[in-house]
Homo-oligomer: A and B are copies of this chain.
């Protein structure tokens, strides 16, 4: 019960050093060590390795793989389903490449020169980052998320109430300025925006002005967030987003 490192390496056609490396970086730590320090890989470890190798084939960096697989909400079935779709996509992209090679062969035979675009457009269609984003959304394990999760776990009911009060006070000030027709890049508007940022920073996760600017964009782009502001005042989402942008842009 448990395979040696050499056996696993042989089966998966990877080097022993590779498995050492995965152990070192905490990506795949074998569940058992013998008395004498030998690594032993259980069936579960082997299943993990399979996942890792699928992700790797799909171009995920090892750090990303580790984050995904160690997330508490990681689900093997979901991961496999996603991998299946990605492999299909990659196969489709490979088919495109075959077409491009055929086109190139025909061009050479016919003495024709293809355009630069025709020759190069097949590359880079397949971007792992596009999937990384999906994986991140699915298992939402950004650093910010981790921080937020570990902090809010310890929050009591009163904590939540205090946060709500502070957030509401901030919302009130926001609406006041909006109703008064104050421009989003007015110092007072930026002040309120920064207040909102610090709220996040104190209660959930480290939030720089830069990161807040990203959030600001989401507030208008994502209907779920937008609705939160729009139900207070129509046009408030955009106004607030602009205020955040102005706030993040100022020198210091």
Q: Mark A residues whose CB is within 8 Å of B.
A: 3, 7-8, 11-14, 41, 43, 46-47, 49-50, 53-54, 57, 76-77, 80-81, 83-84, 87-88, 90-91, 94-95, 97-98, 100-102, 104-105, 108-109, 113-114, 116-117, 119-121, 123-125, 127
Contact = CB atoms under 8 A, between A and B. Distances in A.
A121 B11 contact: yes
Given A54-B97, A57-B97, A98-B91, A105 B81 contact: yes
27 contacts: A3-B116, A11-B117, A11-B120, A12-B124, A13-B123, A13-B125, A14-B123, A46-B116, A46-B119, A46-B120, A49-B120, A50-B100, A50-B104, A50-B120, A53-B120, A57-B97, A57-B123, A77-B105, A80-B104, A80-B105, A84-B101, A87-B94, A87-B97, A87-B101, A90-B94, A91-B91, A91-B95
Contact of A94 (B91, B116, B125): B91
A12 B83 CA distance: 25
A183 to B, nearest CB: 38
- Taken together, the copies of this chain in the complex come to 2
A116 B8 contact: yes
A149 B39 CA distance: 45
Nearest to A127: B13
